[in-house]
Amino acid sequence: MRERRAERLEALGWRTGDAAAFLGLSAEEAAYVEVKVRLAEGLRRRRAALELTQTALAEAVGSSQSRVAKMERADATVSLDLLIRALLALGATRHDLARLLRGR
């Protein structure tokens, strides 16, 4: 039987599979990152819906423009805690958070 693509690539020294496998993330780390990215996207959409700049949002939640930018980029230096606090400050409910985690 003809060799599958993944096996052929691996024979050449390539890592195959999804982004997590490529980056060497555990399933847990991958799940964590996905949760963070979803909250980050949710924050950006919510801010856009309110037609706020990052600076305006920063003022509203007592933070800084640079940190808001990092939140929305799901930067590694931003905790889920801060992301969730920011979303709640924009009026998100726990149901909204649930929707962000479930959705797509």
Binding site for its own copies (CB under 8 A): 28, 31-32, 34-35, 38, 79-81, 84-85, 88-89, 93-95, 97-99, 101-102
Residues that bind DNA (CB under 7 A): 53-55, 58, 61-67, 69-70, 72-73, 75-79, 81-82
- The entry of its own copies, DNA, none near residue 102 (CB within 5 to 8 angstroms by kind) is its own copies
CA of 18: how far to CAs of 6, 21, 26, in Å? 11, 5, 12
CA of 25: how far to CAs of 16, 50, 68, 72, 73, in Å? 13, 35, 26, 21, 19
